[in-house]
Amino acid sequence: MPDIEQIESELGINTKAAIIEPIQHPVLAENNVDLKIKRDDLLHPIISGNKWRKLKYTLQNALSKGNEHLISMGGVYSNHLHALAYIGNKLNIKTTGLIRGEQPVEDNQTLADLKKWGMNLEFVSRGMFRELRKYRSHDADPAKKYNGFWIPEGGASHDALRGVAEILKEIELDFDTIALACGTGTTLAGIAKGLPSTKKALGFSALKGGGFLEKDIKKLLRTKGMPNWSVNFDYHFGGFAKTNEELIAFIEEFESHNNIPLEPLYNGKMLFGLLDLIKNDRFKKGHKIIAIHTGGLQGHRK
């Protein structure tokens, strides 16, 4: 079995860099709510946040089975594929990315990085992309077709839950709620799995019509109930990758007060929603919240 600490050292992952910082905002003082943020974006300049958390034991599983070809899927700004391509480049592992939609005339920065790091790109129709979402196991049909190890979209596998749950081991402060953004729901599932019943995990969907998230999270957790977690669907701002002036203004104000970079796809929406809920008395006085910064800043490069 490959040594995960050795792999982290080779990649330059530093979990100790993921410090917890207090958040400054007038809404918090007005409502007597304590909010801190765990800076998982500081784990690594490229493999940041939940990207590594979800991939680490999946990678270990793949290498232990002798696989040297990793195949996955994502959009043209995929943080997951960006991290996977970099890992493949550094560890000399072949990678293939199945990209949603037609190949653009000109590569964006994400696609340029994938190619620079040697990932083989194949653009598939949106219909085929939806079909690919049904494949969950590492030896599913795509693995056989491309002769490698299949990783579902966003790294959404049971191996990922173990890595995500380690976030909790790094939080030594007392808290009532953990808040985080949701794409596939895998990070929320991993957090919920490790949480005691006295604490709650609150996810904020970055997707419009993301009701399927609850179903997918239950599948990952292999449970029917929702005892210690929930997903809020009110702050997607029109859907994935959609923004507006209000959200951008909030992010600029937040960054000016806290010196913490955000992007508008996930973490910006999560913190906007969280502070809005606090403003509207959705949490009791004295409530303690830790938000998880899940990284992904590469998708919002200027």
* Same domain? 79 vs 127: yes
Q: Supply the CATH number for residue 232's domain.
A: 3.40.50.1100
Residue 47 has pLDDT above 90, yes or no: yes
Q: For position 164, what pLDDT does the model report?
A: 95
Q: For position 98, what pLDDT does the model report?
A: 98
* Same domain? 76 vs 33: no
Share of the chain above pLDDT 90, in %: 88
- Angle CA 37–267–42, to nearest 5: 55
Task: Name the average pLDDT for the chain.
Answer: 94
Closest to 266 measured CA to CA, from 212, 209, 203: 203
* Same domain? 11 vs 104: no
Domain termination site, one of 130, 155, 180: 155
* Same domain? 32 vs 124: no
Q: For position 302, what pLDDT does the model report?
A: 58
Q: For position 251, what pLDDT does the model report?
A: 95
* Same domain? 172 vs 294: yes
Q: For position 29, what pLDDT does the model report?
A: 94
Average of pLDDT values for 34-63?
Answer: 95
pLDDT in tens, 267-290: 999 999 999 999 999 999 999 999
* Same domain? 187 vs 287: yes
pLDDT in tens, 130-185: 999 999 999 999 999 999 999 999 999 999 999 999 999 999 999 999 999 999 99
* Same domain? 170 vs 148: no
Residue 1 has pLDDT above 80, yes or no: no
* Same domain? 120 vs 54: yes
pLDDT in tens, 239-263: 888 899 999 999 999 999 999 999 9
Identify the band that residue 237 occupies on the pLDDT scale cut at 50, 70 and 90. Answer: very high
* Same domain? 36 vs 173: yes
* Same domain? 61 vs 19: no
What sign does the dihedral 276-279-281-286 (CA atoms) show? positive
* Same domain? 40 vs 56: no
SS3 letters across 194-234: HCCCCCEEEEEECCCCCCHHHHHHHHHHCCCCCCCEEEECC
Domain termination site, one of 122, 155, 188: 155
Residues 111/80, Cβ–Cβ less than 8 Å: no
Share of the chain above pLDDT 70, in %: 99
* Same domain? 32 vs 110: no
Domain region containing 94: 50-155
Number of domains in the chain: 2
Domain termination site, one of 155, 186, 208: 155
